[in-house]
Structure 1
Amino acid sequence: MYTAQGTIEKSHLLEQHQPLVRRIALQMMARLPASVELDDLIQAGMLGLLDASSRYQDHRGAQFETFVSQRIRGAMLDELRASDWGSRGLRQSARGIEKAIQALGHRLGRAPTESEIARELKIDLETYQSMLQDIQGCQLLYVEDFAKGDPDNPFLDLHAQDARKGRGELDDPLARLLESGFRHQLVDAIAALPERDQLLLKLYYEEELNLREIGAVLEVSQSRVCQLHGQAVSRLRAKLKDAL
């Protein structure tokens, strides 16, 4: 619905696209720790939606829903950055789990169970599962993974400034990963995960189901899906450590 001036009426816009904002927020929640509130993400997304409505121009050729989806996600990410949800302590916990999984994998020659990981960390199973809930949302890759022990020369700072040899283009760290065969290593690492972990990742990243929907498929609670997702990411990081 448009106004006499040809702009989108805001009240109609919010009502029509509120389900889209909620859906994007629910999708993002699977990557975030339990401390992040769904309502905060939705509120940030609604602000992003309003901003998108004022910036969108039909003649640019982009579909409106595609355009606003990008703006909504961007607004939610800005909110997360402002609240600094990925603390150093969170990363340390994630790396502790990753190291335990990696060590056990080498010793056992297979993917370790949750109980085995908990014993390796010298904590009980309940505490381990609580840690999984807390680290939910830690990235698969960290900038520090590429630093090679040199904190004064971070990977991105070094390579984002270098021009490609013989070309005037800026070096792109993501392109370097893809060119190095990292994508194939990631595919192989996912294929080596336990079947339940593979299914969970497929449901979330390919089918784009939210936590509640995944829980219904796996017949577990929503909080349990969070734990399993965090553990799956930790397993991937452990398997990809050598590649990095």
Structure 2
Amino acid sequence: MNREPLAIGLVLPDVLGTYGDDGNALVLRQRARMRDIPAEIHRITLGEPVPESLDVYTIGGGEDTAQILAAEHLIADGGLSRAAAAGRPMIAICAGLQVLGESFRVGDRVVDGVGLIDATTAAMAERAIGELASTPTGAGASAGLTEPLTGFENHLGATILGPDAQPLGKVTHGNGNADETAAQTAASEGRGDGTQTGVDGAVQGSVIATYMHGPVLARNPQLADLLLAQAMGIAPAELEPLEIPVIDRLRMERLARRH
């Protein structure tokens, strides 16, 4: 049956494209095309309106000034928020997670986020950098994920989830959202209860977010196919299985590096 090409939104790659997270959109497009599903990437840059009716959205990482520009634009435009309200699937990485939260801190300034995730971000004392692995929680839109998640974290952000958000994964290697010191500091400020350590990312509504670079969808094909299925309105089991030996070898290598 003919259908319109799957519309993949690459949101603000000019400011939130520092760590190669543009690759997530490429992975979604390639995994669709390998199944003879037509797919196109819609590149949305700073100053351009975000279409609210795309099938799936990818948001990447960036530095402090880029985060502020991205948040201001996405709040003023409103297209991404309308897409989330309509249940369009989204994957946000690192700074993307922070920007979609309620607020994030840059120096002494607290910047308003887009508000799609019940989360606030301050700073950790030391940068978290290195391999990150987790066991998926299966919360909300991530239901059905069963395979370990892996990526590479590189951030100073300490993200504390509010009651409306749930973590994407329980960390088995690496740091994740916040270390113990940052969690305790957040609790003293009335953000959280100091127990939010050992988790990565957030799931709320149709939004899945993580601190994992890699890009994360190249390293975690089950997550990529979950987003594809959501974008198409089908169950992941309805997608034709793909056998890509190089991806299997990559996963084995990265999972082995946790030890």
What's the TM-score bracket when you normalise by the shorter of the two chains? Answer: under 0.3
Larger helix fraction of residues: 1
User: Greater relative contact order (Cα 8 A, min sep 6): structure 1 or 2?
Assistant: 1
Q: Give the TM-score of the pair, scaled to structure 1.
A: 0.25
Name the larger-Rg structure.
1
Q: Give the TM-score of the pair, scaled to structure 2.
A: 0.24
